[in-house]
Amino acid sequence: MEVRLPAQAVRVQRALEDVLLRCDVSARVATDPVEYVRRYSDPHDVELVALIASSVAFGNVKALRAKLADALERVGPAPARAADDARKLARSLVGWKHRVWVADDLVQLILGARAVQRARGSLGAAFGRELAEHDFREALARFVDAIRAGGLARVDRRSARHLLPDPRANSSCKRLLLFLRWMVRGPNGADLGLWREHVDPARLLIPVDVHIHKLAKNLGLTDRNAATWQTAEEITAALRRFDPADPVRFDFALCHMGMAQRCPSKRDAVRCEGCGVQSVCRHWQASRRPTERRRTP
Ligand code: SF4
């Protein structure tokens, strides 16, 4: 049965569709960590590179892309094959560092993920198997457990624990959810669609980074101040009304618009100029005459 959306929700949906239409995907991909993932063709390599790229996707995008490029150059053109030689892999990454993460963290992540690939055939098959038996959050937590357990038994030192968040805690798990978006959605200009046979895009949650969080609050999709797992669920539930089969399809365009716009989360004639969601933003609506104000969806 088709559900009629409230008028303001329809306006938000139209604005989001417009942001999607106006997004120059290939230009934006060229500035995004996913661009590195798209350079690989072997599915095992694609999965590993996507996991590495999403795991280090924190902070300034230019800086993180440089660190990612450095790591991938050290690992070599065939990361899955490289991960079959733990000592050589560790030697190749000596000295690598990005923010709080050091070479050992990355080595453990790659070895753990490669061990899961060997045991289950692919990371996609491993996650799909968990998803068949558990709810989304528990399936993701078990997937993370498997990668953590697959690293070398050096619990006294660093481990994949440093790069992979625990979905059972209350983090929004933005980087893990970004990894899933890349693997499950598409193939299109940004996402790779490698796991379509294992995971239904309808089950994805939106990766809540600072840009998505701000925009979601400004559009009335959430009122939560902290970027938690519940925040990701709430924003996704709001987006699901617009597209139940693919609720995170607005993520790439919206996130890149947020980056370009440097949303000030207040009415600012200069910074808000050209913002694709200005017509439905709370900060612009708040400054209209009372009779012109719209209810949030
Ligand atoms: S109109 Fe301004 S405050 Fe509102 S979402 Fe756009 S950039 Fe942010």
Confidence band, pLDDT 50/70/90 cuts, at residue 161: low
The per-residue pLDDT for 291 is 45
The per-residue pLDDT for 5 is 87
Give the bridge partners for 228, in sequence order.
171
Nearest CA residue ID for atom 4, ligand 1:
281
Residues in contact with ligand 1 by the CB-under-6-Å rule are 215, 218, 261, 263-265, 271-272, 275, 277-278, 281, 283-284
**Averaged pLDDT for residues 33-52:** 98
Domain boundaries, the chain: 1-30+205-297, 36-169+186-194
Tell me the C-alpha distance between 251 and 256, whole Å. Answer: 8
Query: Measured in angstroms, how far is the CA atom of residue 162 from the centroid of ligand 1?
Result: 34
Quick check: 4 pLDDT over 90? no
pTM over 0.75: yes
Quick check: 237 pLDDT over 90? yes
Tell me the C-alpha distance between 163 and 259, whole Å. Answer: 23
Confidence band, pLDDT 50/70/90 cuts, at residue 1: low
- Written out in words, the top-level CATH class of the domain with range 1-30+205-297 is mainly alpha
What pLDDT digit, counting tens, does each position of 124-133 carry?
999 999 999 9
What pLDDT digit, counting tens, does each position of 68-88 carry?
999 999 999 999 999 999 999
Query: Measured in angstroms, how far is the CA atom of residue 281 from the centroid of ligand 1?
Result: 6
- In the chain the first and final C-alpha atoms are separated, in Å, by 20
Nearest CA residue ID for atom 8, ligand 1:
263
Query: Measured in angstroms, how far is the CA atom of residue 265 from the centroid of ligand 1?
Result: 6
Residues contacting 73, CB < 8 A, separation 6+: none
The per-residue pLDDT for 159 is 56
The whole-chain average pLDDT of the chain stands at 92
